[in-house]
A and B are shown apart, each in its own frame.
Chain A
Amino acid sequence: MPIMSIEDFSFTYASAPARSLSNINLPIQKNCITSLIGPSGCGKSTLLRSLNRMHDLYPNNEYEGKLMLLNQENDEMENILDIKKENEFIQLRQRVGMIFQKPTPFPMSIFDNVAYGLRISGIKNKTELKDRVEDALKGSALFGEVSDRMNKSAMGLSGGQQQRLCIARAVALKPELLLFDEPTSALDPISTAAIEELIVELKKDVSVAIVTHNMQQASRISDYTAFMYLGDLVEYGETEQIFLNPREKKTEDYITGRFG
């Protein structure tokens, strides 16, 4: 069952002469990991950033088609492109979290980083904040490393720890869908392995869409894989099928390393 269904979706940047994505149809399955692969510049980030309406932070970008998100309360799909009011954007972004390529700790303490989303969502109760911050840090396999320095600046953590902190920060809000944009491309192999393990762990509670240019990573962690090329979705299927048995010539060329 999909938590998000991308239907006939196209996207045009304000400053671009043509569409950067055209006619994408793709489901994001619930409690699964879906990876988006493809050569650099094919539109993976553009698609991912559409799913929490990040492009709306900048003027005059244009969406076409539908992005249907499952409303878990009544089991109905609702088009997030209908969203116009600020409080609806806030709700959407609380439900659909995002982790970026480079770790982006805020210049504040570790505790305050994780509590940030909770605080601005209106949670003031100290014990509730503390519990949820600790849960999120435990869920992100970071609690043991930082429990004795929660009030120290987050800038002092290592790159891998910072990225797990960013995951904890997103997880604290109990999102339904988490979007990862090449979350390990700035990290060393050990930190990368820790993050991959964490993402697999997370899918019990949350659905995941992950952009990666690392095909081993896609094949290791994802249940479904979508291959994109020049703004088109070339092929989508179960990860095993895409990697072992691609239907499209383009997909095969890409995964066998003939280009990209």
Chain B
Amino acid sequence: MEKLFKTVSFMSATLVMVLLASIFFSLFHTAKPAIEEYGFGFIKEKAWDEEVPIENDIAATPVKKEEPKAAVSSDDDDLASMLAGNTSDVPTKTVYGGLIPIVGTLLSTLIAMIFALPIAMGIAVFLAEIAPKQISNIVGIAIELLAAIPSIIFGMWGLFYFAPIVQSFVGGYQVSLLTAGLVLGVMILPFMAAITRDSMRTTPDVLKESAYALGATKFEVIKDIIFPYSKAGIIGSVILALGRALGETMAVAFLIGSVFSLPTSLTSPTVSIPVAMANSFGEATGMKTSALFYLAFLLFIISFAVISIAKFYFLRKDNK
């Protein structure tokens, strides 16, 4: 029996590793043409699905001409590809660059964090230390329910109810970096608050009592004892929330505008990596597919790095 159990658990562990490795390599494999074509310059390249004249030194490489399908591109892109198409005597190629979705992903995540972090900390402190037990339990359940809401519902709510309110305050577009970031923030907020509350609750009573016994106020105990003690858990929750925000697709797809243009202000629409992938895979072929996989590969690496750091912190906490 024990042997069977050992075998099964070993096999499941192996399966997970195999799965992880196979995802990594299939992403890498499909992205390879784009990686070879664009190299690290992909990260800095603004153009996405644009025709550009071929420069002399790479004129030898075969032109992978594609129909400029601009279902998700802005007017500018259409214009650019039209212009490029008209100057037919100059050889052109279609260029894919990751700068806009990468910037969109990082900025929307940053806005979400700036918005959600202080509020989540406030809620966690309230639940763990200030509210009476009954209230803390009720609000705690509400927070956990919020954390369980599917992201598409946040997206719909955000588009139809939240974005108009934000717009009425700051102007600009309803679909924008700002509204996408804020809804993303609302989404990760309950998750961060719940984990932070839990790790604050692990502070031993006797440690808090020792500080109170020296004449500390509640505020001082929270600041000097509870926060330092639960620091590792809080950082962990922040990084897990980061990972979630980076990869979020549905909520952001409703709100970010899905246009390939660099945001010029908080209220301008743009696109993020997951949204670019979700919107473009349908009609993508050839180099475009490969470029999308390159984006996916980059997102995988960013998220993987973020989660590894989170794990590192959690482990350090366990060892203490």
Binding site for B on A (CB under 8 A): 52, 54, 57, 59, 86, 90-91, 93-94, 97-98, 100-102, 104, 106-108, 116-117, 120-121, 166, 169-170, 173
**Interfacial chain A residues near B225, Cβ < 8 Å:** 106
Of B132, B206, B212, B217, most buried by chain A (CB within 10 Å of CB) is B212
> A120 is contacted by which of B210, B214, B228 (Cβ under 8 Å)?
B214
**Interfacial chain B residues near A57, Cβ < 8 Å:** 208-209, 212
Interface size on B, residues (CB 8 A): 19
> B210 is contacted by which of A86, A90, A94, A100 (Cβ under 8 Å)?
A100
Per-residue A-contact encoding for B191-233, CB less than 8 Å = 1, 0 else: 0000000000000101111111111110010001100110000
Binding site for A on B (CB under 8 A): 132, 204, 206-217, 220, 224-225, 228-229
Are A93 and B215 in contact (CB-based, < 8 A)? yes
Q: Across the two chains, which residue of chain B brings its CB closest to A92?
A: B215
Tell me the number of A-to-B contacts counted with CB atoms below 8 Å: 63
Complex CA distance for A116 and B229, rounded to whole angstroms: 15
Complex CA distance for A63 and B225, rounded to whole angstroms: 28
7 contacts between A and B (CB under 8 A): A57-B209, A90-B216, A98-B213, A104-B207, A116-B224, A120-B214, A120-B216
Are A106 and B224 in contact (CB-based, < 8 A)? yes
Are A93 and B213 in contact (CB-based, < 8 A)? yes
Are A100 and B209 in contact (CB-based, < 8 A)? yes
Complex CA distance for A97 and B211, rounded to whole angstroms: 11
Tell whether A102 pairs with B214 under 8 Å between CB atoms, given A59-B132, A116-B224, A120-B220.
no
**Interfacial chain B residues near A106, Cβ < 8 Å:** 207, 210-211, 224-225, 228
Are B211 and A116 in contact (CB-based, < 8 A)? yes
Taking A59-B132, A104-B206, A173-B214 as known contacts, 4 extra A-B pairs with beta carbons closer than 8 A to each other, sorted by chain A number, are: A90-B217, A93-B214, A107-B228, A120-B215
Complex CA distance for A59 and B214, rounded to whole angstroms: 20
Are B217 and A173 in contact (CB-based, < 8 A)? no
Are A97 and B214 in contact (CB-based, < 8 A)? yes
**Interfacial chain B residues near A121, Cβ < 8 Å:** 215
**Interfacial chain A residues near B208, Cβ < 8 Å:** 57
**Interfacial chain A residues near B214, Cβ < 8 Å:** 93-94, 97, 116-117, 120, 169-170, 173
Tell whether A91 pairs with B207 under 8 Å between CB atoms, given A107-B228, A107-B229, A108-B228.
no
Q: Across the two chains, which residue of chain B brings its CB closest to A116?
A: B214
Complex CA distance for A106 and B216, rounded to whole angstroms: 13
Q: Across the two chains, which residue of chain A brings its CB closest to B214?
A: A117
CB distance from B231 to the nearest CB of A (A): 9
**Interfacial chain B residues near A90, Cβ < 8 Å:** 215-217
**Interfacial chain A residues near B132, Cβ < 8 Å:** 59
Complex CA distance for A170 and B211, rounded to whole angstroms: 10
Q: Across the two chains, which residue of chain A brings its CB closest to B228?
A: A107
Complex CA distance for A59 and B206, rounded to whole angstroms: 16
Complex CA distance for A45 and B28, rounded to whole angstroms: 64
**Interfacial chain B residues near A100, Cβ < 8 Å:** 206, 209-210
Complex CA distance for A117 and B224, rounded to whole angstroms: 11
Q: Across the two chains, which residue of chain A brings its CB closest to B220?
A: A120
Nearest 9 Cβ contacts at the A-B interface: A117-B214, A98-B213, A104-B210, A90-B215, A94-B215, A93-B215, A107-B228, A104-B207, A120-B220
**Interfacial chain A residues near B217, Cβ < 8 Å:** 86, 90, 120
Q: Across the two chains, which residue of chain B brings its CB closest to A102?
A: B206
